[in-house]
């Protein structure tokens, strides 16, 4: 079944068309890769899906519900979570604190509980830490042991793991990953692919859309690939077919590179 669907999605910044009539579908439990050169509209797509940018035209439907005009925190509550290419972790906070931030949209207690129903608040905190420990332990048991350390003390790959755990903590149905391998060496990238496989096994119904420049990652984790250039979707299909598409090769290599 279709989980996410965009039709004619268009975003403009003044005279610049950042997304140009994009049609895209994501099925339940599917992993879709999004590729394209810098400035092709990939991150703009994520920012629009999560309510950070308002489309100039087109439609976004998530589980049949129109998302256009809905605020980002409400979209997160509906079941869409994301990571960012540039880390948005709070480096001065602990590993656990960063993951618990992702659970904010699902919290059941509030200020009143902190004042007059403290046992209820305490129980939810303990439950949240247990859930955070579970997610962290899927990737690296050492992260659980270091849960109260500042996240800024972790190596790059473990920071990425914490970011993914923070997104998973909101119990999403759709996970948007923006360049998760950025800044990693080949060994760390290989570990990241194993991590994504763990996520798929842990949450088989989760849909994932992943933006990546590393074609090794895209080929390894995506069932279907959509290629973008100048805000348009120029190709879609299995990785091999998209990689061989003339317009995709031209977007990456230029006309002279394709002829060569």
Q: How far apart are CA 118 and CA 16, in angstroms?
A: 52
Average pLDDT of span 158-178:
93
Q: 86-171 in CATH: which number?
A: 3.40.50.300
Structure tokens at 211: 């933006």
What pLDDT digit, counting tens, does each position of 196-205 carry? 999 888 888 9
Q: What is the pLDDT of residues 113-129, one digit of tens each?
A: 554 566 766 777 788 88
Distance between CA 90 and CA 113 in Å, rounded? 26
Cβ(211)–Cβ(177) below 8 Å: yes
Q: How does strand 207-211 pair with strand 224-229?
A: unpaired
pLDDT over 90 (residue 231): yes
Mean pLDDT score of the chain, rounded to an integer? 90
pLDDT class of 208 with cuts at 50, 70, 90: very high
Map out the domains of the chain as residue ranges: 1-79+173-178+207-260, 86-171
Each residue's pLDDT tens digit, 74-132: 999 999 999 998 888 999 999 999 999 888 766 655 555 554 566 766 777 788 889 89
Say yes or no to pLDDT of 1 above 90: no
With a cut of 70, say whether residue 255 has pLDDT above it.
Answer: no
Angle, vertex CA 190, rays to CA 162 and CA 183, nearest 5: 60
Helix axes 156-168, 186-202, angle to 10 degrees: 20
Which top CATH class is 1-79+173-178+207-260? alpha beta
What is the mean predicted confidence (pLDDT) over 44-50? 97
Confidence of residue 50 (pLDDT cuts 50, 70, 90): very high
> What is the pLDDT at residue 116?
54
Domains 1-79+173-178+207-260 and 86-171 share a fold: yes
């Amino acid at each position: 079944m279709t989980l996410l669907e965009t039709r004619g999605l268009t975003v403009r910044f003044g005279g610049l068309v950042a997304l140009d009539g994009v049609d895209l579908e994501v099925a339940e439990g599917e992993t879709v890769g999004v590729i394209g050169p810098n400035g092709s509209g990939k991150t703009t797509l994520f920012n629009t899906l999560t309510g950070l940018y308002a489309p100039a035209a087109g439609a976004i439907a998530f589980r049949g519900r129109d998302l256009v005009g809905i605020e980002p925190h409400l979209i997160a509550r509906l079941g869409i979570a994301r990571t960012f290419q540039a880390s948005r972790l709070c480096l001065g906070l602990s590993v656990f604190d960063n993951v618990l931030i992702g659970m904010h949209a699902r919290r059941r207690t509030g200020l009143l509980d902190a004042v007059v129903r403290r046992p209820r608040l305490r129980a939810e905190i303990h439950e949240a830490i247990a859930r955070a420990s579970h997610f962290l332990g899927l990737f690296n048991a050492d992260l659980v042991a270091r849960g109260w350390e500042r996240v800024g003390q972790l190596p790059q790959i473990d920071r990425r793991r914490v970011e993914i755990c923070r997104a998973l903590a909101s119990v999403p149905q759709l996970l948007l990953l923006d360049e998760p391998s950025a800044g990693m060496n080949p060994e760390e990238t290989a570990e990241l692919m194993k991590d994504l496989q763990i996520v798929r096994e842990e949450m088989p119904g989760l849909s994932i859309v992943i933006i990546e420049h590393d074609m090794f990652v895209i080929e390894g984790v995506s069932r279907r690939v959509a290629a973008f250039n100048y805000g348009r979707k120029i190709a879609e299909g299995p990785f091999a077919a998209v990689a061989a598409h003339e317009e995709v090769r031209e977007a990456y290599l230029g006309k002279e590179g394709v002829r060569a």
